[in-house]
Amino acid sequence: MWRSGPVGSPAGPRPRTGCCAVDVLYETIAAIATAWGEAGVAIVRLSGPDAVALARTTLRFGPGGFPPPREMRLASLLDDTESVIDRVLVVHFAAPRSYTGEDVVEIHTHGGTLVVQLCLEALLRRGARLAEPGEFTKRAFLNGRIDLSQSEGVLGIIRSRSAEALRAAARTLSGELSEFVREIRDELLELQSGLEVGLDFPEGEAPHVDETTLLDAVATLKLGLQDLLDRCSLGLLLREGIRVVLSGRPNVGKSSLLNALLKQARAIVTALPGTTRDVIEEAITYRGVPIRLVDTAGLRTPVDEIEASGIERTKMELKQADICLWLLDGSVPLDDEELGYLRSLSEREHIVLLNKADKAHVVTEDDVHEIVPESSVISLSARTGEGLELLKEAILSIATGNGSLDAGLNVTARQLEDIRQSLNAIVEAETAAADGVGQDVVAGLLGSARGSLERLLGIACDDALLDSIFSRFCVGK
């Protein structure tokens, strides 16, 4: 390792200054924080310097008065005529120990669309501004309560569709991603600084990082980033799901397999070849991971324009697939066209399925392995369900690289691209160092790698990026 201890930025986020810390933080914002509709409770959230004052003028408290921080008290919600609209519970989170880092007040009304809307309108009339989408979380970021990766972890929790995706998002929100990224960023900073300090000295007097130390340090950074990329790719997979395309010749059982995996008759199944003309997409969850199943038109020489269009869509889906399931009718001998399709499978992740295992097979797994030795081959029956669990396990194994699902970190496509760019710059730096190009060039590439990680953390960003990220949140978050 190049260094023995952490350097550079502190362990946690700090309040932002410069391009993104703005006058808007002096405004007090309000929004409904719960889903619209009838429910047991609805919550209106206030954040900003006037949150307490606005709550005091909108609510009437009993003898105990306004609640001290983190204590919930009963109050009456008033309209403009001082009439009581509702009996509510109020809690105050004092700055800086609140979600946003500002004074936050939550008003818990009875559930229902009218009373919570009247509460919000009363606060807006008294001077609060309606919050923009994601503005509470944006303020938490701007005030240094969380960094940008943790902010997006909040969105990951909101959008989780499986238990595994939720756990990955929770790991990101807890700071596991930030800690890993910040450690690599700090190592990059120290190594880059060690190289650049020599540029300010006269030739022959400059401190020098020897080639072996430099190559070892860059190799260690590359391994760390590759590990991070693998964990984040897994996290993205847990959230977005595995796109699995069912493909093959007509009448090999693709639609029957879709129905069997869904445990419902979603696709039409007939003995006539070419029944499926369009793409059918459905999803299942297996061991907490979403699997997006795509049934497609059978590949053959089309008999009409409609079938030709369906086959073109099949080819497009195959290009976008994470995994291709190529179905064979094991009870029918392979012809030359089928052999050609099989040999083309090496270009993508795939599993060959010998369907109709409930019938006598003339094509065996050994036969398929002779044609495509690298392929995974599974015998199954869409009619009886034989082999379906084995298939789902194989899909999961290929998609996760046999890794543990517990290692995944929730990321967005933007964050994953930042990590890829950082890794690419490190690879270039390693090549430059090995070729003896010059330590100034290596230092520049290390700086590019560091910049990508700082963009991920929100250390280096602009308003357009922040607006894009936080606009995806709901208004009350």
Of the candidates 46, 59, 41, the one whose C-alpha atom is nearest the C-alpha of residue 112 is: 41
Q: Residue 462 is part of a domain; what is its CATH number?
A: 1.20.120.430
pLDDT in tens, 26-43: 899 999 988 888 888 999
Residue 91 bridge partners (DSSP)? 106
Q: Which of 139-153, 316-330, 414-428, 453-467 has the lowest mean pLDDT?
A: 453-467
Helices (H), 243-364: 254-262, 305-320, 336-343
Q: Residue 134 is part of a domain; what is its CATH number?
A: 3.30.1360.120
User: CA distances (Å), 187 to each of 139, 161, 184, 195, 412, in order?
Assistant: 29, 36, 5, 13, 24
Of the candidates 311, 285, 316, the one whose C-alpha atom is nearest the C-alpha of residue 405 is: 285
Domain presence at residue 62: yes
Q: Residue 331 is part of a domain; what is its CATH number?
A: 3.40.50.300
Q: Give the number of C-alpha atoms closer than 13 A to the C-alpha of residue 317, restricted to the C-beta side.
A: 27
Instruction: Indicate if 114 and 129 belong to the same structural domain.
Output: yes
Domain presence at residue 439: yes
Question: Taking a C-beta distance cutoff of 8 angstroms, is the pair 75, 110 a contact?
Answer: no
Instruction: Indicate if 265 and 381 belong to the same structural domain.
Output: yes
Q: pLDDT confidence of 300, banded at 50, 70, 90?
A: confident
Position 14 scores a pLDDT of 47
Instruction: Indicate if 350 and 382 belong to the same structural domain.
Output: yes
Question: Which of the listed residues 374, 406, 438 is the one where a domain comes to its end?
Answer: 406
Question: Which of the listed residues 361, 376, 406 is the one where a domain comes to its end?
Answer: 406
Of the candidates 185, 180, 249, 245, the one whose C-alpha atom is nearest the C-alpha of residue 411 is: 180
Tokens representing 272? 């006539």
Domain presence at residue 5: no
pLDDT in tens, 220-273: 999 999 999 988 888 888 888 889 999 888 888 888 888 889 887 776 555 555
Domain presence at residue 202: yes
User: CA distances (Å), 232 to each of 77, 235, 256, 379, 417, in order?
Assistant: 46, 5, 34, 33, 10
Domain presence at residue 6: no
Question: Taking a C-beta distance cutoff of 8 angstroms, is the pair 297, 310 a contact?
Answer: yes
Q: How far apart are CA 140 and CA 155, in angstroms?
A: 13
Instruction: Indicate if 280 and 341 belong to the same structural domain.
Output: yes
Give the H/E segment covering residue 229.
helix 211-240
Q: Is the pLDDT of residue 22 over 60?
A: no
Query: Whole-model pTM?
Result: 0.66
Q: How far apart are CA 371 and CA 351, in angstroms?
A: 14
Instruction: Indicate if 398 and 253 belong to the same structural domain.
Output: yes
Tokens representing 308? 């030709």
Instruction: Indicate if 250 and 387 belong to the same structural domain.
Output: yes
Question: Which of the listed residues 387, 406, 425 is the one where a domain comes to its end?
Answer: 406
Domain extent at residue 233: 155-238+412-470
Tokens representing 168? 């990955």
Domain presence at residue 12: no
Q: Match 């006058």 to its residue by tokens.
A: 23
Tokens representing 117? 């809307």
Question: Taking a C-beta distance cutoff of 8 angstroms, is the pair 168, 238 a contact?
Answer: yes
Q: How far apart are CA 329 and CA 337, in angstroms?
A: 14
Q: pLDDT confidence of 474, banded at 50, 70, 90?
A: low
Position 74 scores a pLDDT of 94
pLDDT in tens, 127-140: 999 988 888 888 98
Instruction: Indicate if 120 and 88 belong to the same structural domain.
Output: yes
Instruction: Indicate if 284 and 320 belong to the same structural domain.
Output: yes
Question: Taking a C-beta distance cutoff of 8 angstroms, is the pair 124, 130 a contact?
Answer: yes
| Alpha carbon of residue 243 to chain centroid | 15
CB atoms < 10 A from the CB of 449, how many?
28
Domain presence at residue 7: no
Instruction: Indicate if 198 and 110 belong to the same structural domain.
Output: no
Position 268 scores a pLDDT of 58
User: Domain count of the chain?
Assistant: 3
Instruction: Indicate if 45 and 81 belong to the same structural domain.
Output: yes
Instruction: Indicate if 210 and 270 belong to the same structural domain.
Output: no
Looking at residue 333, its amino acid is P
Domain presence at residue 194: yes
Q: pLDDT confidence of 154, banded at 50, 70, 90?
A: confident
Q: Which of 112-116, 153-157, 324-328 has the lowest mean pLDDT?
A: 153-157
Instruction: Indicate if 112 and 205 belong to the same structural domain.
Output: no
Question: Taking a C-beta distance cutoff of 8 angstroms, is the pair 69, 93 a contact?
Answer: yes
Give the H/E segment covering residue 74.
strand 73-78
Q: From start to end of 251-392, where are the E strands? A: 280-286, 289-295, 323-329, 350-355, 376-379
Torsion of CA 396, 402, 407, 412, to 10 degrees: -50
